[in-house]
Amino acid sequence: MIRRFIIALLAFLFMSHVVSAQMREHMVGFKAAYNISGADFTPKVLQVKDIKTISNYSLVYTYYHDLWKTMPYFGFQLGLSSQEQGYSIDGAETRLKVWEVPLVSQFHVDFWHLRLLLNLGCFAGYRSEKTGGFEDTDYKIDYGFITGGGVAIVFKPLELHIEGNYQYSLSSLYNAKRTSTTELEYAYPRQLLFSAALYIHLNK
């Protein structure tokens, strides 16, 4: 019984590899984004305002594949991003330079020369610079989630993606006890990114 199960499992894995190999697309691209950036403070700070930045760039690898030759809707993206983030309080801006590695599941529906895109994923990052410099109570490690969508225009070997994505950090900018050991303060960055990316297909 065990040997039959192993044989069936190996056959299943082999067949899944053969089937999935029938529809694969590999792309690499460059992305630029307009970022509406802010931060959510707890306790709430009424004077906090968003800022807008344009120095947001990414190198992205995208892989599309089918599932059982009948569901060609799946894919994922892996990238390296440089973002300028921040917020404003009473007119005084705080800006951060953040390096990120996003990992996103990108579902797509294709028709004609278009794709409709739906994104859901996460990111890990490193806050490398801040106006005024980092203090001992600042956290440099960043992580959070990404969700959004968009549309792609496909004219192989090129492909243009226009997307809107919301990104929320689960890592506070500061140690919650930086000003008081009894009144904790948190600040979670958030981004609304409108991007354009130009890809080139690697498939022959």
pLDDT band at 4; cut points 50, 70, 90: low
Q: Is the full-model pTM beyond 0.75? A: yes
Q: Is 61 part of any domain?
A: yes
Q: Is 19 part of any domain?
A: no
In this predicted model, what pLDDT tens digit does every residue of 184-204 receive, in sequence order? 889 999 999 999 999 999 986
Spatial distance between the Cα atoms of 96 and 100, rounded to a whole number of angstroms:
12
Q: Is 4 part of any domain?
A: no
Domains held by the chain: number: 1
In this predicted model, what pLDDT tens digit does every residue of 157-177 receive, in sequence order? 999 999 999 999 999 998 888
What range defines the domain where residue 41 resides?
A: 24-201
| CATH code for the domain in which residue 171 is found | 2.40.160.20
Residue 171's contacts (CB-CB under 8 Å, 6 or more residues apart) are: 139, 141, 142, 143, 144, 188
CA neighbor of 30 nearest in space, from 73, 75, 80: 80
Q: Is 185 part of any domain?
A: yes
